[in-house]
Homo-oligomer: A and B are copies of this chain.
Amino acid sequence: MSPPEKKQRTEEYILYYWPGIPGRGEYVRLAFEYAGIPYRENSKEVPGILAKTEKVGTPPHFAPPALRLPSGRVVSQTPAILNQIAPRCGLAGPLGSKLNTLTAEGKAALRELSDEELEKAEEERSVVNQLTLTVLDWCNETHDVHHPCAASLYYEDQKEAAAQAAEVFRKSRLPRWLEYFESVLASNPATAGTNGGRTYLYGKQTTTADLALFHVVDGTFFAFPKRLGQLKASGEYDNVFALYERVKGEKGIKEYIESGRRQKFSMGLFRHYEELDGEEKDE
């Protein structure tokens, strides 16, 4: 008698992240919410060097977020997680999303790709990875404005340095990030001639980079409402703000926001300190 067919593993994802703030875990949540793929949260056994747990396997993880994949493997580092799940979520471009090794169907489809398709698939996934990394750099910089000296010190103990960092951030870095992403949006050949805004960073479908940019703009509206309001009013970055509105209304994301499950910004990566947001007058 031959052994019974092995049952297909349940496709289960578990996100490990601190409770109470959206944080870097939010980039992962947005991907699953967009794709309509269920995931569970575990905020009690967060892996990291401070809370080692045998359950996450080797190598140990430096910090959350970490994601348990259906295979049981746990991956950490936000850009690595996003690069891993982007194809499964359809967020790595039309061909890049065929590089999905997380399901049996995905693996079979991958092997069917021609040389040319394989090259294009890798290109799509790689460009999405590159753009996502750049958005996350902006996120990190926004955090470092209120904690320039050390994440482990209180804001109150580095207020002077934060004020100095915030001035440069408001005057030159924030406009530069907006200018960069505006140039990416405006030069995307796939959306040339589009009416009503060029709102895709790459190709003409949503990627992890679009979702991340939506979240960073959202967090920056929370942290620097005055300054970002001024920059929006300048009309120089209309495509960036159009992307923000477009993503907000996407199926999956819209439902997520309306569900009340999306955690509010508070004292996490994005923080609002009025004194760091500058004067009413345009700078």
A binding-site residues for B, Cβ under 8 Å: 49, 52, 58-60, 62, 71, 73, 75-77, 79-80, 83-84, 101, 104, 107-108, 110-111, 113, 115, 118-119, 121-123, 126-127, 129-131, 133-134, 137, 144, 148-150, 152-153, 158, 160-161, 164-165, 168-169, 172-173, 176, 179-180, 183-184, 187-189, 201-202
Contact = CB atoms under 8 A, between A and B. Distances in A.
B187 A80 contact: no
A48 B43 CA distance: 39
Given A111-B113, A153-B168, A158-B164, 17 more contacts: A52-B183, A59-B130, A59-B188, A60-B180, A60-B187, A71-B119, A75-B130, A77-B129, A101-B118, A107-B118, A108-B115, A111-B111, A144-B148, A148-B148, A150-B173, A160-B160, A160-B161
Contacts of A76: 130
Contacts of A173: 150, 152
B172 A152 contact: yes
A251 to B, nearest CB: 25
Contacts of A79: 79, 133
Contacts of A123: 71, 73
A36 to B, nearest CB: 23
B161 A130 contact: no
Contacts of A126: 75, 80, 83-84
A93 to B, nearest CB: 12
A157 to B, nearest CB: 8
Given A59-B127, A127-B59, A49 B164 contact: no
Contacts of A180: 49, 60, 62
A42 to B, nearest CB: 19
A161 B22 CA distance: 28
29 contacts: A49-B180, A58-B187, A58-B188, A59-B187, A59-B188, A60-B180, A60-B187, A62-B134, A62-B137, A71-B119, A75-B127, A75-B130, A77-B133, A77-B134, A101-B118, A101-B119, A101-B122, A107-B115, A111-B111, A111-B118, A144-B144, A148-B161, A148-B165, A149-B161, A149-B164, A150-B169, A152-B172, A160-B160, A160-B161
